[in-house]
Structure 1
């Protein structure tokens, strides 16, 4: 592989940028500055998400007084804690372990006093990990709905709106159960726009959306609901906690890590290697394949016209795209975006790219993403791999795996959403 501008191969630089983005959102770095003063009463730690166990460990390491608690994280994302119980559950489709943990979490915060403090640690993935349905709705109902929402092409905002109105713990209900205790939520954002009620479906914040909004989303994507779910939404029984609810008067919310900060960390790595770094956006949404095509077009314009940026440069972006699964493949929004990018670039000799999920899991596969270079498309053809067929079948993971171009991180124990970097070298 050719050398990057002034230093390492392009693939190595892309990976160092990705690693820097992940490192910027590590709980050990971002949690301690936000820890509160000790309360007069008890400190109870709760939380959910792919980063929640690592967040809990950071709290334990930097908190000198007594505490107890319970957090739930994804299978494989556990870290050892001494005073906070860590439960593992399924993501992205919920399971019985998550349901039991959610019920126990509610039980722990009931009966607190005004002198007590609840420290809630929230990160991406918390919605699936706290699947406590409203009465009459079964776990099996929730699982089927999750699969339908994940496959239909709905945005994360739409998915979480439906989740909030069918849950006994999301949409501010967890904070309401803590009343009259003080609640401080420390959150790591994985959603476009960093909106508090979208991160893990907002268990400790007010929700401005309504049951009618959830019904409209379900109808938009043609999702068939069981009778119990329809009754909850149509009868208004799933209405979430609203901004004027007095039970949230003592609830505070702080964002401690976010996609923009991760992109800025990657930009610093690019600049240190001699590339101009440009952040195109931290909240880019849309069908993954369409986003990939557009990003490829911007990179080609930079390479050939020095517009809107002159090479050598790196184009960075984040957000959360979607995949409408129509084929038999395993999906994965980052690899699907990258595969569409590969087809649009057509082996451009000066453009390399990486796309990955900062939680280390792209879709349902324990692979973060993949990378491409100028020779990737020709190499695939020589091996008999057909990029267009792989894209049509939502099988980007299979395509890049066969080429040995997958990017694996293992559990990162954080989550600040998608990461995309296109590296554009100057002409020789």
Structure 2
């Protein structure tokens, strides 16, 4: 009889397969990147990605822009700016101007290496026109509360930005740009990752080589290969609103044959006024707990691969058929899943992971 899988260990297997350090190291080792004259890393995985590049080119000037608490290990001598996510702050504007200065300082004939991961949309910004930081924050909070898909959100962000959608690299006067990106968006489009902060303008004056070096598909495949039981589902379909997704997914898993089911993507949540403490993965986990209440032999882990779910220190939730209680309905309505799950030992807390390829849901049916 096959061993019952450890869902958290499987999740880590997927995450480690797309780690920022490992993914950049693999790409450099493959010979896909020539020696750069400057390195810029921006996003939640920026520190890990820059560390890999600096291991090969330790003397190359390096700028890192990342989320607060995500820069514990950085290359010696690197300029590091930490800023807010998912809502930008004053440090985000400082970071955005630093990116402009770094790009504009590149000399003719130079090679710029851009390392991009999710979160860059909030972590670095220079707003257009007369938009104030307060107005930018308000717009961002409204977008987050609306439950809009990430592609729509990033298109709006680009329209308000002086550095998104190829506008940052339009300032580059060197000869060549290489962008290595970890994808945290459906379809793995460089124009959507970080709102296109590492994308080239439509008619660049330089040669441009982009590479998507890690994705949700790679993480899911690593989980599937490591599974000690049969993998019955492996799909990237977690893109609906949690209120629609949980009933459909819960019904499918209740009726499923024994084995492992792997899903990826990024669900959305519409937030109420004055939301509580939580994130999309915790909301989905709690909603699924209601759907599978009383089901024996079914365990579900759902967590963000970056290690943070919403503005919390949790990555997501681990639930089973015994998790649900009626008080969970109020927690769902108030978008306050974190304390509810914490009281029941249902939180998954990992800390920053050094990557960001959306979310993984791993379910085991005995």
Does the aligned pair in 2 maintain the 1:73–1:129 contact within 8 Å? yes
Shift of 1:296: 1.1
Which residue does 1:314 correspond to in 2?
260
Match of 1:267 among 194, 218, 224: 224
Q: TM-score, normalised by structure 1?
A: 0.80
Match of 1:145 among 123, 132, 139: 139
Which residue does 1:352 correspond to in 2?
299
Which residue does 1:285 correspond to in 2?
239
Does the aligned pair in 2 maintain the 1:45–1:84 contact within 8 Å? no
Give, in whole Å, the separation in 2 of the partners of 1:38 and 1:406.
43
Give, in whole Å, the separation in 2 of the partners of 1:15 and 1:287.
24
Deviations 1:89-148 (A, max 9, x none): 111111111211211221122153442110000001011011211131111111111111
Q: Mean alpha-carbon deviation: is it higher for 365-374 or for 82-91?
A: 82-91
Give, in whole Å, the separation in 2 of the partners of 1:159 and 1:340.
24
Total equivalences in the alignment: 361
**SS state of the match for residue 73, structure 1?**
strand
Structure 2 gap ranges (5+) = none
Q: Mean alpha-carbon deviation: is it higher for 128-137 or for 283-292?
A: 283-292
Structure 1 gap ranges (5+) = 207-240, 303-309
Q: TM-score, normalised by structure 2?
A: 0.93
Shift of 1:289: 2.9
**SS state of the match for residue 46, structure 1?**
strand
Give, in whole Å, the separation in 1 of the partners of 2:195 and 2:220.
24
Match of 2:204 among 238, 246, 250: 246
Deviations 1:246-273 (A, max 9, x none): 33x5122101110001011111222xx2
Give, in whole Å, the separation in 2 of the partners of 1:63 and 1:112.
17
Deviations 1:3-59 (A, max 9, x none): xx6335x5xx111111111111112211023235545xx611112100011100111
Which residue does 1:367 correspond to in 2?
314
Give, in whole Å, the separation in 2 of the partners of 1:318 and 1:278.
14
Give, in whole Å, the separation in 2 of the partners of 1:294 and 1:120.
40
Does the aligned pair in 2 maintain the 1:115–1:182 contact within 8 Å? yes
Does the aligned pair in 1 maintain the 2:121–2:154 contact within 8 Å? yes
Does the aligned pair in 2 maintain the 1:288–1:333 contact within 8 Å? yes
Which residue does 1:336 correspond to in 2?
283
Shift of 1:200: 0.4
Give, in whole Å, the separation in 2 of the partners of 1:347 and 1:359.
31
Give, in whole Å, the separation in 2 of the partners of 1:22 and 1:109.
31
**SS state of the match for residue 103, structure 1?**
helix
- After superposition, residues 152-231 of structure 1 pair within 5 angstroms as 152-205=146-199
Structure (1/2) with the larger helix percentage = 1
**SS state of the match for residue 296, structure 1?**
helix
Does the aligned pair in 1 maintain the 2:86–2:311 contact within 8 Å? yes
Shift of 1:84: 2.5
Give, in whole Å, the separation in 2 of the partners of 1:179 and 1:407.
45
Aligned pair in 2 of structure 1 residues 259, 38: CA closer, same or farther (>3 Å)?
A: closer
Give, in whole Å, the separation in 2 of the partners of 1:27 and 1:352.
29
Give, in whole Å, the separation in 2 of the partners of 1:409 and 1:296.
25
Aligned pair in 2 of structure 1 residues 102, 181: CA closer, same or farther (>3 Å)?
A: farther
Match of 2:345 among 395, 400, 404: 404
**SS state of the match for residue 246, structure 1?**
coil
1:126 aligns with 2:120: yes
Does the aligned pair in 2 maintain the 1:289–1:336 contact within 8 Å? no
Give, in whole Å, the separation in 2 of the partners of 1:181 and 1:46.
16
Give, in whole Å, the separation in 2 of the partners of 1:279 and 1:30.
25
Does the aligned pair in 2 maintain the 1:91–1:128 contact within 8 Å? yes
Give, in whole Å, the separation in 2 of the partners of 1:32 and 1:260.
19
Which residue does 2:91 correspond to in 1?
97
Does the aligned pair in 2 maintain the 1:361–1:368 contact within 8 Å? yes
1:392 aligns with 2:338: no
Aligned pair in 2 of structure 1 residues 157, 194: CA closer, same or farther (>3 Å)?
A: same
Which residue does 1:295 correspond to in 2?
249
